[in-house]
């Protein structure tokens, strides 16, 4: 058995937790391309975002300069109810794999919403409340973001309407109930409550919906309702800023253990947890202080980084959002109906897209059966049932640890365990009874949507 001088879980004390978020853009030598107004094809100005986002968040979205942003007192107080999140040393996993690698994971599933999304949800709800808004809209795919935002809005007594991708709405009745328990209204998307939804329904009445389509509906609802704004749980620069709390805590906790990662691994849907986890380590790399590897892990059925194009594209299906330069499969892309692993967004954070494009980050994709195999193995070994999304990072971390077994290298691996999988038991069931399949889109199929 490995000597265990590092505790199984490292939890920062109150005076060690970060009081500021870190804005990685302030240290990037080349910035991500700006958001464009699709009407004029000119970079968006802050004021142009005000109809959609609340003012402070519009400011954060475009602020490439401010390196550290104070976390407001109210948000720090809320963070205290479930943070700092623990950094685990995965001793049992190391032993089972027989690897000389040291494996750490930052666990973000210890709150009722069950994922890291609450870190940004509470911030976005706070700024909306502070501006005196009377309502928010959003979309949710698998349901974690809707749950986190419903929790955050309940805290600030803010009315919330959630457009939930219809497929998930039907597959995950309890996700729905949780969101409603927190007091939010939930509408399966596409719906007949918006022009965007009605147009999509007219084209394909049987569609199970998509994230891009739910975004279109939520944005339309926000801009056509007085005092209402839209919030998004991933992709945006502001979300990566809030999620930097994950990386800052992880770095401080590793320092307590006298460790520094050789490899940092995270799953990538829209890129928010990964962007947050890697931020302070990427800073070191950009400043030539250290040289860790960063690996984004995505599903083979929705491979934006590994098979998408780095171009300007819409963030939603109905093309109502600004244009973002990002790795994208095309705003009309919808992963196959059998895909159960989450991470189904067609694009990727412009910050991460730029880092990947510049060779500062790597990306891999995995088929879902191999992701669920890792999830089941990890559950049995570490006693945490991971969200399917998180299991992508687990898969990649295990493979990296097995490579170390081959080479004898005692690398330090850090991965993000973004959430728990208790609402994904239908997907686990499919894996366990052998009915889960892998469908990897052909180049021809992808070409139909690529911009």
Contact footprint for ligand PLP (CB under 6 A): 115, 117, 144-145, 234, 267-274, 343, 387, 389-390, 418-419
| Encoded tokens for 232 | 């998004």
Contacts of 206 (CB under 8 A, 6+ apart): none
**DSSP strand pairing (87-89 vs 185-189):** unpaired
Cis status of the peptide bond prior to 190, with omega within 30 of 0: yes
In this complex, which beta carbon is closest to ligand PLP, that of residue 91 or of residue 310? 310
In this complex, which beta carbon is closest to ligand PLP, that of residue 135 or of residue 146? 146
Least distance to ligand PLP, CB of residue 97, Å:
23
Nearest alpha carbon to residue 273 among 145, 82, 101: 145
Least distance to ligand PLP, CB of residue 136, Å:
18
In this complex, which beta carbon is closest to ligand PLP, that of residue 143 or of residue 330? 143
CB 352 within 8 A of CB 271: yes
Least distance to ligand PLP, CB of residue 106, Å:
12
CB 325 within 8 A of CB 350: yes
Least distance to ligand PLP, CB of residue 159, Å:
23
In this complex, which beta carbon is closest to ligand PLP, that of residue 129 or of residue 346? 346
| Encoded tokens for 406 | 């081959």
Distance between the two ends of the chain, CA-based, in angstroms? 53
Region of 447 please: left (phi>0), alpha (psi -120 to 50) or beta.
alpha
| Residue matched to tokens 């780095």 | 310
In this complex, which beta carbon is closest to ligand PLP, that of residue 145 or of residue 327? 145
Query: Which phi and psi (to 5°) does residue 267 adopt?
Result: -75, 150
Region of 158 please: left (phi>0), alpha (psi -120 to 50) or beta.
beta
CB 408 within 8 A of CB 435: no
In this complex, which beta carbon is closest to ligand PLP, that of residue 103 or of residue 232? 232
Least distance to ligand PLP, CB of residue 148, Å:
8
Angle at 347 between CA 56 and CA 310, to 5 degrees: 105
In this complex, which beta carbon is closest to ligand PLP, that of residue 107 or of residue 259? 107
**DSSP strand pairing (87-89 vs 102-107):** antiparallel
Residue number, nearest CB to ligand PLP: 419
Least distance to ligand PLP, CB of residue 262, Å:
22
Least distance to ligand PLP, CB of residue 121, Å:
11
CB 201 within 8 A of CB 237: no
In this complex, which beta carbon is closest to ligand PLP, that of residue 270 or of residue 280? 270
| Residue matched to tokens 């930097």 | 244
In this complex, which beta carbon is closest to ligand PLP, that of residue 102 or of residue 107? 107
Least distance to ligand PLP, CB of residue 271, Å:
5
As a whole number of angstroms, the distance between CA 413 and CA 410 comes to 9
**DSSP strand pairing (263-267 vs 293-299):** parallel
In this complex, which beta carbon is closest to ligand PLP, that of residue 85 or of residue 115? 115
Least distance to ligand PLP, CB of residue 30, Å:
22
| Encoded tokens for 145 | 């973001």
Least distance to ligand PLP, CB of residue 273, Å:
3
């Amino acid at each position: 058995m490995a000597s265990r001088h590092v505790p199984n879980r490292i939890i920062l004390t109150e005076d060690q937790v970060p009081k500021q978020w870190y804005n990685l853009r302030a240290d990037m030598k080349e910035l991500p391309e700006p958001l464009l107004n699709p009407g004029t094809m000119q970079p968006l100005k802050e004021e142009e975002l005000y109809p959609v986002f609340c003012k402070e968040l519009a400011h954060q979205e475009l602020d490439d300069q401010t390196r550290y942003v104070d976390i407001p007192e109210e948000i720090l107080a809320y963070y205290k109810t479930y943070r700092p999140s623990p950094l685990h040393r995965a001793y049992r996993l190391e032993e089972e794999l027989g690897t000389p690698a040291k494996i750490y994971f930052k666990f973000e599933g210890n709150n009722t919403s069950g994922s890291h999304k609450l870190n940004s949800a509470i911030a976005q709800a706070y700024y909306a409340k502070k501006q005196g808004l009377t309502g928010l809209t959003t979309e949710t795919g698998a349901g974690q973001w809707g749950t986190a935002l419903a929790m955050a809005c309940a805290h600030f007594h803010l009315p919330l309407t959630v457009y939930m991708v219809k497929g998930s709405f039907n597959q995950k009745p309890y996700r729905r109930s949780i969101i409603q328990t927190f007091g939010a209204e939930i509408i399966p998307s596409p719906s007949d409550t918006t022009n965007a939804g009605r147009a999509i329904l007219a084209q394909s009445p049987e569609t199970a919906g998509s994230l891009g389509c739910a975004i279109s509906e939520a944005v339309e609802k926000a801009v056509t309702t007085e005092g209402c704004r839209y919030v998004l749980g991933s992709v945006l620069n502001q979300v990566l800023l809030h999620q930097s709390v994950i990386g800052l805590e992880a770095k401080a906790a590793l320092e307590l253990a006298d460790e520094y990662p050789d490899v940092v691994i995270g799953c990538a849907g829209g890129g928010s947890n990964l962007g947050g986890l890697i931020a302070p380590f990427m800073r070191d790399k950009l400043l030539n202080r250290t040289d860790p590897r960063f690996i984004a892990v995505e599903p083979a059925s929705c491979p934006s980084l590994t098979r998408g194009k780095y171009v300007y594209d819409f963030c939603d299906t109905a093309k109502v959002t600004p244009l973002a330069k990002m790795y994208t499969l095309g705003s009309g892309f919808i992963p196959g109906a059998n895909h159960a692993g989450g991470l189904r967004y067609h694009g990727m954070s412009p910050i991460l897209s730029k880092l990947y494009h510049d060779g500062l980050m790597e990306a891999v994709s995995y088929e879902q059966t191999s992701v669920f195999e890792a999830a089941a193995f990890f559950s049995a070994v570490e006693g945490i049932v991971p969200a399917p999304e998180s299991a992508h990072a687990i898969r990649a971390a295990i493979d990296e640890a097995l490579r170390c077994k081959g080479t004898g290298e005692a690398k330090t691996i850090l991965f993000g365990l973004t959430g728990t999988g208790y609402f994904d038991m239908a997907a686990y069931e499919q894996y366990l009874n052998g009915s889960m399949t892998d469908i990897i889109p052909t180049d021809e199929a992808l070409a139909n949507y690529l911009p």
